Amino acid sequence: MNFLRNTFAVLMGLAIAGLIITLGIRAFPQWITFEAFAPFEHWEKFLESMKNNDAFFGFLLFISGLGTTVGGVVSAMIVKYAKVAYAILIGFIMLFIAMLDVIVFPYHPTFYKISIFLVFFPFAWMGGKIVEIIYERKKKRRSVQKMNQ
């Protein structure tokens, strides 16, 4: 049963992270150079139109960090054990996807290619750590309440 729960947690974390990143890109209409919302069909043309726009790639790093943090939080909240490890797994999978994007589409600036390594793992770890700290505080409060009764 834990396997299904953990798999569901990872899939939910990835879905949340992907949704936040996608919505973050769509937040600025002046960046969108295509009519229909089909990001995978138009991604190469979109990146080519943004290749000299460092602000976009900086924002993409920020929104990727935010999405990975929230995805890590969601994943860590669902799993029972090894909360930080599963959150870091979200970061690893997102890093793998970003690396594939950089390899397949050559329009990313150098600072983005380097920075993705510095964004995904720390932000995913932070998401797992947030949940771990919250759960530890709840556990302490329960033990203090039991002692006071």
Q: What is the pLDDT of residue 34?
A: 58
pTM: 0.86
Q: Which tens digits make up the pLDDT trace of 25-45? A: 878 767 666 555 565 667 777
CA distance 71 to 84: 12
Task: Give the mean pLDDT of 12-19.
Answer: 95
Q: How many helices (H) and strands (E) does the chain have?
A: 5, 0
Closest C-alpha among 51, 125, 46 to residue 88:
125
Tell me the pLDDT of the chain averaged across its residues.
87
- Listed in sequence order, the residues at least 6 apart from 34 whose beta carbon sits closer than 8 Å to its beta carbon are 42, 45, 46
Question: Is residue 124 within 8 Å of 71, Cβ to Cβ?
Answer: yes
Domain region containing 69: 2-148
Specify the number of domains making up the chain: 1
